[in-house]
Chain A
Amino acid sequence: MLDILLPILIFAALGLAAIGVVRRVRLWRQGRPSPVPLVKGLASVPRRYLVDLHHVVARDKVMSNTHVATAGGFVAAAVLMVLVHGLGLAEGVLGWGLLAASATMFVGSCFVARRRRNPPSRLSKGPWMRLPKSLMAFSLSVFAITLPAVGLLPDNFFEGSVSWVLALALSAVLVWGLGEMVFGMAWGGPMKHAFAGALHLAFHRRAERFSTRGGEGKRSTGLKALNLDDQDATLGVEKPSDFTWNQLLGFDACVQCGRCEAMCPAFAAGQPLNPKKLIQDMVVGMAGGSDANYAGSPYPGQPVGEHQGSPQGPIVAREGKALVDAETLWSCTTCRACVEECPMMIEHVDAIVDMRRFLTLEHGNTPNKGAEVLDNLIATDNPGGFAPDARMHWAADLELPLMADRGEAEVLLWLGDGAYDMRNQRTLRSLVKVLRAADVDFAVLGNEERDSGDVARRLGDEATFQSLAKRNIATLSKYRFQRIVTCDPHSFHVLGNEYGELGGPGMPAQYEVSHHSTYIAELFDAGRLHVKPWKGGGVTFHDPCYLGRYNGEYEAPRSVLKALGIELKEMERSGFRSRCCGGGGGAPITDIPGERRIPDMRMGDVGETGAELVAVGCPQCTAMLEGVVDATAEVRDIAELVASALTEAPEAFAGAAQQSSNRPQAVEVA
């Protein structure tokens, strides 16, 4: 009897799944077009899955092995099941292979079940709680029906009256398993992540993120430019169908593991943002409906079930509620912790900035100080509204060489808007002292410099960003330099990763940009800096998001601190898991209230190490961390630490140094 029933069941499930696939694909195709290499993309799935995705999953060894067993077992079992039971090719090794595959899958599902016994709060519940049972149902029933096929049970075992009931019961379990694993995969069950995830890997919007046989994948963190040439186009994303189709596909790939939620600084601070919920809301919007069925942690302070959306409906309503509240989008610090953690390679930050672009460029609704800052950027080229010709006042006594006078220099020192900030001016003065001590040939743009456009872009004002960027590119194209050095990781990121797209003909905007920690590390390596041994207390280092996660520079600041003789007391969340200071993405400007402040939490992390001093490498981080009341640690920029440790070159070097330098000696730091 099973001989007849099994093929029917299997092919019925596959047929229904095919219908579901078509339906799902049509949901994605509502999005804007985005050309992808079809065959090449599909061919790259195995590598992207086995190498890049597993690189992220493997950060949790137990889960990684569980997934290898379960998913690997399932894929093998499903293919073999179709061959063995669907087409009746039970001969020889195929049946044994199916037995092995389903057994492996069963072992994996036991681990899934164990994890679901006391699931951490970041995991979604609801349908996900039944998944281990469904996995077991599938693997066990496939195992059982295969036993006669390989001869472990007599061929006619499932015949006769008692066995007949057994066969029926087994079929029922198999129907459950097939329902979840095949039908549910295409119709939006928990297993959707496998089907959508595979295609998401194939047609990812940032293909350069993935490794190829030639080498490692590149960090792809720069936001994509918005086309401003089309006068009539709606700018940014107003409704779910305004995303590109492969972004929608990416949302569908979410496996609701909540690793993003666990890392999100805004979520931890009780601001109304949860990256996982945001992605699920986009899925709700894509398919139409309400978020009532969402079974994970809500946005802090916002009950589930009050929001709904549709593919053609607005995501954020001007008044009242739609799919997502504006505060949710403005809570993000763009720290990329969620993207870094996401095993499905979903690009949360891109989506958030796309939606912010609409709010700013079309609604004109940037909250709190946002509008004022953007107006200042338009009128004065800096967010504070200061006079552009006051940019160099901090360096009135330093006689900094200007590019306008020199025309060329080895290093162009990009000051950033910190030039107007009295705290950051101390950092800048230290950096100048260090560069002069190492006898570096550098020059500054002075009053010709403008804001890099980072804040404007992350507040969604792409028009102001592109205007600033293009004028900066035009200024930079006038001068010759080998590299740009800056103490502002935000300028570093924007100049290095986001200007390239905006260069024009005859005006390429590809620069070699270094963070000052990288450059100082090189100066140490070249033996151009001489320092006294460190005498202070314990020190920890706070990785700036735009230096670390955005640009992968974790080593240089640490090697500088090591060269100073400092032994770091690392925080639990450091390196690629560093927690944001709360200063990125315009978050201090939009200032969405939460239960705690992000910098307070970060200072708490610092406190746990017992360090008396936290070294930073970013004006935003400095401002945010120094703003913490009753902090247990002092905040010092790396440049300040190096400058205060500088000493004369030992005898052996003295002659060489004297010959090469007729510049002003190192200047005292205030």
Chain B
Amino acid sequence: MRPEARVDASLEITVLVSVGRHPVTGRARRADQDARAVELARGVADASVRLLHAGGKEADSEPALRGYLGMGFDALTLVEQPEGADALPALADALNEAPPQLVITGERAEQGEGSGLLPYLLAERLGWPVVSGLAAVESVENGVATLLQALPRGQRRRLKVRLPAIVTVDGAAPAPRQSAYGPARRGHLAAVPGSVTVDEAWASWETQPARKRPKRLKIVKAASARDRFKAAAAKAEGGGGQVLTDVTVEEGAEAILKLLKEEGVLR
């Protein structure tokens, strides 16, 4: 049941995985997006896949990380970080030490900052290209990967990117396989020391539970079934948009302020 060691693999992939948080109960779990990233990596032919996590090894994060091992891995590299440390430098160092050709991540973490910026900052630091929202990795030949990017409304865009590169997965990527308890339990969490950079800004932040954001209602004025279907398939969009060109900074700012007041964001 364990994946056979692929020593002659031509392609090395590292998947960055994080500790997720269940949306209903808040329990630690394998993050959905990161699990999709692992599934995407497993779907690439002739690739050796490594799992990398930078973070603490707290009591509740271990079962969550083992959830990734349960997808058929013997080991997960754990760059240990104390609470409040910035994962970015640690990950960059770990990737620099043994650079893979492809790094796959989820779009954003399920807890912590969850800003979705990590892939971009990492790409900037490493000087690699970044492609977001993948639905599939179609092929890798001669150091060039053919990727399928997911766009809204089921559209797809085929891209070629020179490796090494960082890519993030979209919700349209294949659903992750089930995590099996046996392999998850037997797998090895290989802790390696890494550089620790304290995130000073984070330490000064205050966190509070998120409130539900208001959603723009879709008002459908459709005469025919075709229009109704189009409206149902469309994403909610603001109707009365306005493009301002050749305006001064003050005029622009005033226009924005006016809009915010109209929408009731500012009172």
Contacts and interface: CB of A to CB of B under 8 A. Distances in A.
A377 to B, nearest CB: 12
A362 interface: yes
Interface in B155-184: 177-183
Contacts of A232: 186
A380 B185 CA distance: 21
B186 A231 contact: yes
Interface stretch (B24-32, B118-126, B201-209): B24-32
B25 A361 contact: no
Given A379-B25, A379-B29, A387-B24, A360 B180 contact: yes
A227 interface: no
B182 A379 contact: no
Contacts of A478: none
B180 A364 contact: yes
Contacts of B71: 364
Given A231-B186, A232-B186, A363 B180 contact: yes
Contacts of B247: none
B178 A388 contact: no
A235 B181 contact: yes
Nearest to A464: B181
B218 interface: no
B183 A362 contact: yes
Interface string A463-482: 11000000000000000000
Contacts of A464: 181
B70 interface: yes
B24 to A, nearest CB: 5
A448 to B, nearest CB: 14
Nearest to B30: A375
Given A231-B185, A231-B186, A362 B25 contact: no
The DSSP consensus for interface residues of chain B is loop
B70 A364 contact: yes
B1 interface: yes
A362 B180 contact: yes
B22 interface: yes
Given A231-B185, A379-B29, A374 B178 contact: yes
B181 A388 contact: no
Interface string B24-66: 1101010000000000000000000000000000000000000
Contacts of B186: 231-232
Contact of A361 (B22, B24, B72, B182): B182
A387 B24 CA distance: 6
Contacts of B24: 379-380, 385-387
B25 A364 contact: no
* Interface range on chain B (Cβ under 8 Å from partner): 10 to 19
A366 B70 CA distance: 13
A182 B185 CA distance: 50
Interface string B56-100: 000000000000001110000000000000000000000000000
B83 to A, nearest CB: 23
B180 A380 contact: no
Contacts of B25: 379-380, 387-388
Nearest to B32: A375
Contacts of A360: 178, 180-181
Among B72, B178, B183, B186: residue with most chain A CB under 10 A: B178
Nearest to B63: A378
Nearest to B26: A379
A360 B1 CA distance: 12
A362 B1 contact: yes
A364 B185 contact: no
A478 to B, nearest CB: 21
Contact of A234 (B72, B178, B182): B182
A366 B22 contact: no
Among A365, A379, A385: residue with most chain B CB under 10 A: A379
A364 B29 contact: no
A573 B177 CA distance: 41
Nearest to B176: A371
Contacts of A388: 25
A364 B178 contact: yes
Interface in A338-392: 360-366, 370-371, 374-375, 378-380, 385-388
Interface in A415-467: 461, 463-464
A365 B183 CA distance: 13
Contacts of A463: 181
B175 to A, nearest CB: 9
A492 B182 CA distance: 29
Given A231-B186, A363-B1, A461 B27 contact: no
Contacts of A380: 22, 24-25
Nearest to A461: B181
A231 B186 CA distance: 7
A366 B178 contact: yes
Contacts of B72: 364
Contacts of A387: 24-25
Nearest to A460: B181
Given A380-B24, A386-B24, A361 B181 contact: yes
Contacts of B1: 318, 362-363
Nearest to A365: B178
Contacts of A235: 181-182
A567 B67 CA distance: 55
A445 B93 CA distance: 51
The 8 closest A-B pairs by CB, nearest first: A364-B180, A371-B178, A364-B178, A362-B182, A379-B22, A361-B181, A463-B181, A235-B182
6 contacts: A232-B186, A362-B182, A364-B72, A366-B178, A375-B29, A379-B24
Given A360-B180, A386-B24, A464-B181, 12 more contacts: A361-B180, A361-B182, A362-B1, A362-B182, A364-B179, A365-B178, A370-B178, A374-B178, A379-B27, A379-B29, A380-B24, A380-B25
